[in-house]
Amino acid sequence: MTNLQPVRKAVIPVAGNGTRFLPATKATPKEMLTIVDRPVVQYAVDEALQAGIEQIIFVTSRNKAAIEDYFDTSPELTASLTKAGKTAQVAQLEKMLPLAGTITYTRQQAPLGLGHAVWCARELVGNEPFALLLPDMVSFGPRGCMAGLMDLYQEVGGNVFAVEECAPQDTSSYGIIGVGNRVEHGVQVTDMVEKPDPAVAPSNYYLNGRYILQPQIFDLLESQERGAGNEIQLTDSMQRLAASQPFHAHPYTGRTFDCGSKRGFIEANVAFAMLRADLGEELAQSIQQLVSERRQSAHAA
Ligand code: UTP
């Protein structure tokens, strides 16, 4: 599509309480829990930058200062590593430091829901389309999910998000879409339903936490209406926006780990570690050993 406004900014909401990871999240933001040796949030930032995003906007909250510190210099650590001759580590820390001014922060003063967190970024986003990445949802595949979503956006414009297939019986755990006509990089969205019963779900394609939205979403979020769970839901405003603007979905060809759940978080750790030259082989052997021990003890019981 020609004459499209470019997507330069990405919003990453990190203001949730992370209650599913208590007690760990009492003092550590859940976005700073590590997948192998990098915090969860780093994966979303890398994915956004690889897709061509120039500016990251974090919607943060109290007790999340560790995220700001993580994306800043650490003079004491650098001095101590330099003194110890650990130049490779110093170079690694410098390499991952974002360019000054490319990360900004705004605070959500109370965790009123994802829709409210997105609305908190309205002044920093301004009047242009923006990407939204839920950092708990970690993409795993040869290409980041947001890069594929950009392809769809370039093709059709409007509002787009990424989807994946879930087991048909699991639709009641997700936001599910109705599927319309195919386009080159995705499908038209005919419906968006929050957590439908499998008997009435329009498909088994669920939203996996990657979006490109037009700024008119902020006008709809402005009303601050509460939805499911008494939270201000993003899906409610997207449904209203769909009355006047097109929505398309991009089926992600990789796989997303829901690192907001314990199982997804542990699976992500195993999957990413398996890819590492320094860990993969030995870890595979350890896991096989653990699985066989578990089978033996279940058999003996
Ligand atoms: P989740 O609902 O998965 O996060 O929101 P949570 O509320 O922190 O998790 P639990 O259920 O208590 O364990 C998805 C994303 O939206 C952000 C979260 O930080 C997470 O990245 N979020 C959610 C906000 O920024 N503000 C909110 O009010 C709610």
d(CA 136, ligand 1 centre) in Å? 8
At residue 266 the predicted structure's pLDDT band, cuts being 50, 70 and 90, is: very high
Strand partners, 160: 212, 248
Place of tokens 């990251």: 56
Q: pLDDT, tens digit, for every residue of 170-204?
A: 999 899 999 999 999 999 999 999 889 999 999 99
Q: Is the CB of 59 under 6 A from ligand 1?
A: yes
Q: pLDDT, tens digit, for every residue of 207-254?
A: 999 999 999 999 999 887 787 777 888 999 999 999 999 999 999 999
**pLDDT of amino acid 227:** 78
**pLDDT of amino acid 299:** 77
pTM for this prediction: 0.94
Show the domains of the chain with their CATH numbers.
9-260 (3.90.550.10), 261-301 (no CATH)
Position 80 pLDDT exceeds 80? yes
d(CA 142, CA 290): 28
The mean pLDDT of the chain is: 94
Percent of the chain scoring above 70 in pLDDT: 100
Q: pLDDT, tens digit, for every residue of 17-48?
A: 889 999 999 989 999 999 999 999 999 999 99
Nearest CA to ligand 1 atom 22: 16
Summarize the confidence of residues 96-120 as an average pLDDT: 93
**pLDDT of amino acid 297:** 86
Q: pLDDT, tens digit, for every residue of 149-173?
A: 999 999 999 999 999 999 999 999 8
Query: Of the given ranges (118-122, 148-152, 271-275, 296-300), which has the lowest mean pLDDT?
Result: 296-300
**pLDDT of amino acid 76:** 92
Q: Is the CB of 136 under 6 A from ligand 1?
A: yes
**pLDDT of amino acid 63:** 86
Q: Is the CB of 81 under 6 A from ligand 1?
A: no
Q: Is the CB of 260 under 6 A from ligand 1?
A: yes
**pLDDT of amino acid 231:** 83
Position 66 pLDDT exceeds 80? yes
d(CA 250, CA 145): 9
